[in-house]
Amino acid sequence: MRFRWVWLFVIMLLLAGCQSSYWVLEKDRLDEVTDIKIYVNDLQMHDDVKGYQVFTISEGKKMVVVSLGSSEKDKKLEVLDVKFTPKETIVTVKRKYASKANETNPYILIGLDKIEGDLIVQDESRDRFEETDYQQ
Protein backbone atom coordinates (compact mmCIF):
# COMPACT_ATOMS: atom_id res chain seq x y z
CA MET A 1 0.00 0.00 0.00
CA ARG A 2 2.81 2.39 0.86
CA PHE A 3 4.42 1.82 -2.55
CA ARG A 4 1.20 2.99 -4.26
CA TRP A 5 1.28 6.28 -2.38
CA VAL A 6 4.89 6.86 -3.30
CA TRP A 7 4.12 6.02 -6.94
CA LEU A 8 1.13 8.40 -6.93
CA PHE A 9 3.32 11.18 -5.49
CA VAL A 10 5.97 10.65 -8.20
CA ILE A 11 3.31 10.80 -10.93
CA MET A 12 1.91 14.03 -9.47
CA LEU A 13 5.38 15.60 -9.48
CA LEU A 14 5.92 14.58 -13.08
CA LEU A 15 2.58 16.00 -14.15
CA ALA A 16 3.27 19.25 -12.33
CA GLY A 17 6.57 19.55 -14.20
CA CYS A 18 4.82 19.02 -17.54
CA GLN A 19 2.56 22.02 -17.16
CA SER A 20 2.92 24.61 -19.86
CA SER A 21 4.75 27.72 -18.78
CA TYR A 22 3.39 29.78 -21.67
CA TRP A 23 -0.01 30.63 -23.11
CA VAL A 24 -1.49 32.61 -25.96
CA LEU A 25 -3.81 35.43 -24.91
CA GLU A 26 -6.96 35.70 -26.98
CA LYS A 27 -7.15 39.03 -28.77
CA ASP A 28 -10.66 39.72 -27.48
CA ARG A 29 -9.16 39.87 -23.95
CA LEU A 30 -6.90 42.87 -24.71
CA ASP A 31 -8.96 45.09 -22.42
CA GLU A 32 -7.42 43.20 -19.48
CA VAL A 33 -3.93 44.50 -20.30
CA THR A 34 -4.10 48.25 -20.97
CA ASP A 35 -0.44 48.90 -21.88
CA ILE A 36 -0.46 46.05 -24.34
CA LYS A 37 -3.74 47.22 -25.87
CA ILE A 38 -2.19 50.64 -26.50
CA TYR A 39 0.85 48.98 -28.11
CA VAL A 40 -1.32 46.75 -30.32
CA ASN A 41 -3.35 49.78 -31.44
CA ASP A 42 -0.06 51.53 -32.29
CA LEU A 43 0.99 48.47 -34.31
CA GLN A 44 -2.12 48.83 -36.43
CA MET A 45 -1.41 52.52 -37.07
CA HIS A 46 2.33 51.99 -37.65
CA ASP A 47 2.05 48.90 -39.78
CA ASP A 48 5.74 48.86 -40.69
CA VAL A 49 6.69 47.78 -37.14
CA LYS A 50 7.82 44.19 -37.13
CA GLY A 51 9.49 42.30 -34.31
CA TYR A 52 8.66 41.71 -30.66
CA GLN A 53 8.14 43.70 -27.49
CA VAL A 54 8.14 42.37 -23.91
CA PHE A 55 5.75 43.64 -21.25
CA THR A 56 5.56 42.76 -17.56
CA ILE A 57 2.06 41.76 -16.52
CA SER A 58 0.56 40.54 -13.25
CA GLU A 59 2.71 38.78 -10.68
CA GLY A 60 5.92 39.36 -12.66
CA LYS A 61 4.81 37.28 -15.61
CA LYS A 62 5.74 38.46 -19.09
CA MET A 63 3.79 39.09 -22.29
CA VAL A 64 5.63 38.95 -25.61
CA VAL A 65 3.88 40.65 -28.52
CA VAL A 66 5.24 39.50 -31.89
CA SER A 67 4.21 41.41 -35.03
CA LEU A 68 4.83 40.70 -38.72
CA GLY A 69 4.38 44.11 -40.33
CA SER A 70 1.99 44.98 -43.16
CA SER A 71 4.08 43.17 -45.77
CA GLU A 72 2.65 39.94 -44.32
CA LYS A 73 -0.92 41.06 -43.59
CA ASP A 74 -2.27 37.89 -45.18
CA LYS A 75 -0.59 35.79 -42.46
CA LYS A 76 -1.20 34.94 -38.83
CA LEU A 77 1.12 33.58 -36.16
CA GLU A 78 0.93 30.55 -33.92
CA VAL A 79 3.32 29.29 -31.26
CA LEU A 80 5.28 26.20 -32.26
CA ASP A 81 7.40 25.84 -29.15
CA VAL A 82 8.82 27.57 -26.10
CA LYS A 83 12.06 26.21 -24.63
CA PHE A 84 13.67 27.26 -21.37
CA THR A 85 17.35 26.72 -20.58
CA PRO A 86 19.39 28.43 -17.88
CA LYS A 87 20.99 30.67 -20.55
CA GLU A 88 18.01 31.50 -22.78
CA THR A 89 14.31 31.35 -23.46
CA ILE A 90 13.50 30.50 -27.07
CA VAL A 91 10.05 31.27 -28.46
CA THR A 92 9.41 29.76 -31.89
CA VAL A 93 6.43 30.94 -33.93
CA LYS A 94 5.04 29.80 -37.25
CA ARG A 95 3.61 31.98 -40.00
CA LYS A 96 0.35 30.64 -41.39
CA TYR A 97 -1.89 31.87 -44.17
CA ALA A 98 -4.93 33.71 -42.81
CA SER A 99 -8.09 33.09 -44.81
CA LYS A 100 -9.19 36.66 -44.25
CA ALA A 101 -6.82 39.42 -43.28
CA ASN A 102 -8.45 41.37 -40.46
CA GLU A 103 -5.32 43.12 -39.16
CA THR A 104 -3.12 45.65 -40.87
CA ASN A 105 -0.16 44.37 -38.84
CA PRO A 106 -0.68 40.73 -37.74
CA TYR A 107 0.42 39.94 -34.18
CA ILE A 108 0.28 37.30 -31.46
CA LEU A 109 0.22 37.71 -27.67
CA ILE A 110 2.37 35.12 -25.90
CA GLY A 111 2.36 34.96 -22.12
CA LEU A 112 5.36 33.52 -20.29
CA ASP A 113 5.55 32.60 -16.62
CA LYS A 114 9.20 33.66 -16.70
CA ILE A 115 12.09 34.49 -19.00
CA GLU A 116 15.30 32.59 -18.28
CA GLY A 117 18.46 34.30 -19.57
CA ASP A 118 18.33 35.91 -23.02
CA LEU A 119 15.05 35.96 -24.92
CA ILE A 120 15.14 34.72 -28.50
CA VAL A 121 12.05 35.03 -30.68
CA GLN A 122 12.33 33.18 -33.97
CA ASP A 123 10.22 31.68 -36.74
CA GLU A 124 10.12 28.08 -37.88
CA SER A 125 13.16 28.70 -40.14
CA ARG A 126 15.12 30.03 -37.14
CA ASP A 127 15.06 33.58 -38.54
CA ARG A 128 15.11 35.84 -35.49
CA PHE A 129 12.76 38.70 -34.77
CA GLU A 130 14.36 41.87 -33.44
CA GLU A 131 13.07 43.66 -30.35
CA THR A 132 11.17 46.81 -31.30
CA ASP A 133 12.15 50.15 -29.80
CA TYR A 134 8.67 50.98 -28.58
CA GLN A 135 8.56 53.48 -25.71
CA GLN A 136 5.50 53.92 -23.55
Digit-coded pLDDT (tens) for 58-106: 888 999 999 999 889 899 999 999 999 999 999 999 999 988 767 899 9
- This prediction's pTM: 0.82
Write the burial class of residue 134 (CB in 10 Å: 0-12 exposed, 13-18 middle, 19+ buried).
middle
Give how many domains the chain has, as a whole number. Answer: 1
Is residue 12 in a domain?
no
The per-residue pLDDT for range 70-79, each reduced to its tens digit, is 889 899 999 9
Planar angle of CA 27, 31, 33, nearest 5 degrees: 90
- Centre a 10 Å sphere on the Cβ of residue 132 and count the other Cβ atoms it contains: 19
Assign 101 to helix, strand or coil. coil
Is residue 2 in a domain?
no
Is residue 84 in a domain?
yes
Contacts (Cβ under 8 Å, ≥6 apart) of 1: none
Assign 26 to helix, strand or coil. coil
Is residue 5 in a domain?
no
Domain that includes residue 61, residue range: 21-123
